[in-house]
Structure 1
Amino acid sequence: MHALVRFAFLALLPALAGCASLYFPPPPQAPLLTQKGEFSGGLHTNFSNNTALQGAYALGDHIGVLGSASFLHSNKKQSFFGSKANREFVDHDFGEVGMGYFTRLRDQRVIEFYGGYGLGHTKRTESREGLTTQTLEGSLDKYFFQVNYSKKEAKTLHLFGRDFPMSYGAAMRASYVQLNNFTIDGQKHEAEDNIFFEPITFTRIQAVGPIQLQLISGSNFGLRHRKFLKAANSVFQLGIVVNLGGQEGKR
C-alpha cells in the first residue's frame, strides 16, 4: 500500500509543473535484454498525454537495437491555476533509434549501454480569449547516450488477495538536443541547443505472463541556460512492458 501512495503522489507532479519548453523528453528505454533473439516492447504515457511506443531486439548475445516514437497533441490551460480562456496547444512528434551493448552479471543483474539519434518536430501555440498570442515552431535533432541497470533485489506487492512480484532499476541518459528552423509567429529566430541529463528510476510489477506494469519517475536537468529549449517537462511515465525470449530471473 505504501508503494501505491508513492505512485499517486508522483502522478500529481506533472500536473503542477510548467510546460514552457519545446522539448518533451520521451521515457528512456530500458529493455534489459539478456540473450540473442529477445524482444522487448512497451507503451507509455503520462498526464500530459506524452505517449511513447518503444521496441528493442537483441541481434546477438550482447548487441541490441532499439527504437521509439513519441507523440504529444494537447489542448490545455497555460497554467494549472490559470484561466480556462488562456490555452496552450502543443503538437510534438519525435522518433529515436539506437544500438548498444548488454550483458548479464553473475547475480542475475543486467547492465546495458546504448547510444543513438533522434529527430522530430515541435510546435506550441498560445491563445487568450480565443485569439492567438504566440506561435513557436521548429525541428529537433538529438544525440543520446545512456546506461541501464536492474537490481537483483525484488519485493512483492500484496493487492486484492494476490501477490505481484516487483523489481527495480535505473537509467542514466545524457542528451544533446538542437532546436533548428526555429520560428516565432512565422519569423526566423536564433536556433538553440542544450545538454540534458535525465536520470530515472523504474519499478516493474509482474501482472500476468510476460506482461509487466511499469512506473518511471525521474528528473530532467538542462546544463545550459536557454529560453525555449530547457528542462521544464516531466519524465514521469506509466506504461506496459513485454519481454519475450529472454532468460529467466529478476531484471
Structure 2
Amino acid sequence: MTVLLRLRLLSILVGLSGCSSLYFPPPPQAPLLTQKGEFSGGIHTNFSQNTALQGAYALGDHIGVQGSASFLRSDKKQSFFGSKNNRKYEEHDFGELGLGYFTRMRDERVLEFYGGYGFGHGKRTERSEGVTQTFDGDLSKYYLQANFSKKESKTWHFFDRDWPVSYGMALRASYVQLHDFTIDGKPQPMEDNVFLEPISFTRISVLGPIQFQMISGSNFGLRHRRYLKAANSVFQLGIIVNLGGQEGRR
C-alpha cells in the first residue's frame, strides 16, 4: 500500500508541474482476457481532462486485440501558482490499435503481452502578457506492454456492504515521434522519445461485471527533449466491464 501511495503522489506532482509536452499518454489498457469471445471495455479520465475510451476482444483462447481513443480539451493557467491571465489551451487527440497474447495461470493469475501502433495530433496555445504562441504537430507511436494481475485480493466493508478489491500492474514502453511540427506556423525539427510507464491499478467490484478502476504510476522519458517529454500524468479514474470471461480474481 505504501508503494501505491507513493506512485499516486508522484503522478499528481508530475501533473501539477509547470513543464509542458505535446504528448498526453492514454492510460495503459489491461483487459485481462481469459478466453475466446471475451470483451473488455472502459472509460477513464483524470484531473488534466485526458479522457480515454477503450475496448478489447479475445479473438482466440490466447490471442486478443485492443483499441483506444483518447481526447483532451483544456484551458487553464500556464503554471499552478502563476497569474490567471497567463493561459494555456491544449488540444490532444490520439488513437491506438494493438494485438497480443494472454494466458491464465493455474492459480488464477492473468498475464498479457501486447504490441501496437498509435497516432494522433497535439496542439498547445500559450497566451502571456499579450503575446500568443502556438505549438502544433502530429504524433506517431509504437508500443510494447505487459500486464499482470495477482490472485491476491481483499474485501473492503463500507455502506453496510462488502466490496471485493483486486490489484494488478503493467509496464508499457513506447517510442513516440513528433513530426510535421510547427511553432506559429513555422516548421520545426522532428522530435522523438522513448517513454517507460510502470503503473499499478486497483479494481473494486461495483455491480456484476462492472468495476471501478484507479490507475497510478509514473512516466519516464529516456531522452532529453523540449516538446516531447514525460511531463503529463498517467493517473486515471475509470469504469471497466468484462463480459464472457472466466470466473476468479483478475
Mean CA deviation greater in 139-148 or 159-168: 159-168
| Equivalent position of 2:93 in the other structure | 93
| Equivalent position of 2:73 in the other structure | 73
Show the 5 A alignment for 1:125-204: 125-129=125-129, 131-204=130-203
**Mapped contact 1:15–1:80 kept (Cα < 8 A):** no
TM-score, L = length of structure 1: 0.95
Identity, % of aligned pairs? Answer: 73
Work out the CA distance in 2 between the residues paired with 1:117 and 1:193.
Answer: 15
Query: Could you tell me how far 1:13 is from its partner in structure 2?
Result: 3.7
Work out the CA distance in 1 between the residues paired with 2:12 and 2:142.
Answer: 30
RMSD in angstroms over aligned alpha carbons?
2.1
TM-score, L = length of structure 2: 0.95
| Equivalent position of 1:41 in the other structure | 41
**Mapped contact 2:195–2:219 kept (Cα < 8 A):** yes
Work out the CA distance in 2 between the residues paired with 1:80 and 1:225.
Answer: 23
Show the 5 A alignment for 1:47-126: 47-126=47-126
Show the 5 A alignment for 1:231-242: 231-242=230-241
| Equivalent position of 2:209 in the other structure | 210
Work out the CA distance in 2 between the residues paired with 1:8 and 1:65.
Answer: 29
Q: What count of residue pairs does the alignment treat as equivalent?
A: 250
Mean CA deviation greater in 14-23 or 201-210: 14-23
* Unmatched 5+ stretches in structure 2: none
Query: Could you tell me how far 1:14 is from its partner in structure 2?
Result: 5.6
Work out the CA distance in 2 between the residues paired with 1:235 and 1:92.
Answer: 15
Taking a change above 3 Å as real, the CA distance of residues 203 and 143 of structure 1, as seen in their structure-2 partners, is: same
Work out the CA distance in 2 between the residues paired with 1:44 and 1:248.
Answer: 24
Q: Counterpart of 1:35 in structure 2: which amino acid?
A: Q
Query: Could you tell me how far 1:99 is from its partner in structure 2?
Result: 0.3
Q: Counterpart of 2:121 in structure 1: which amino acid?
A: H
CA deviation profile, 1:41-89 (whole Å, cap 9, x unmatched): 0100001100000000000000000000000111000011111000000
Runs of 4+ in 1 over 2 A off after TM superposition: 5-19
* Unmatched 5+ stretches in structure 1: none
